[in-house]
Structures are given as C-alpha cells and as structure tokens.
Amino acid sequence: MIFLGLVLGGVALDKKFSTSPWLTLVGTAFGGTAAFYTLYKAIYGIGRKRAPGSSSERGDGSNDESTRGRS
C-alpha cells in the first residue's frame, strides 16, 4: 500500500507540474525503500517493545527465578 500510494502520488504530481517521469521515479524510489524497510521490520522485529527487565532484554539471564536471591 505504501509503495502504490507513493507511485500514484508521483504520477499525479507529474501530471500537475508536467515533470514526467521524474516525480514518478522519485515516488517509486521512496515507495520501494519504505516497503523494504517495513518488510525488514516485520522479519527482524525492530521496534518491538519488550517487558522491562525481561531476560531477553538484559541478555545475562539475571531475571531467571532460579537464580534470584543467590549470591
């Protein structure tokens, strides 16, 4: 949807300003970049919020119940 919107926006602006095909190409480039970034975020989970103090966030296993309270 992002890609299509930016490409169609470029086409519309090209018609309005008589700049064909430049704004269509710019819209296509921005749309492709946005689409791949969205796909990358979906695959690798960038921006996913985790619970504060979770062991996956700290990476040292310090939130493990079996080791809590031991020195």
In the chain, DSSP finds a helix count (H) and a strand count (E) of 3, 0
Gap between the Cα atoms of 53 and 37, Å rounded: 28
**pTM score, whole prediction:** 0.59
pLDDT digits (tens, 9 = 90+) for 16-41: 999 999 999 999 999 999 999 999 99
Band of pLDDT at residue 61, cut at 50, 70 and 90: low
Residue 71 reports pLDDT greater than 90: no
Contact 3, 33 (CB under 8 A): no
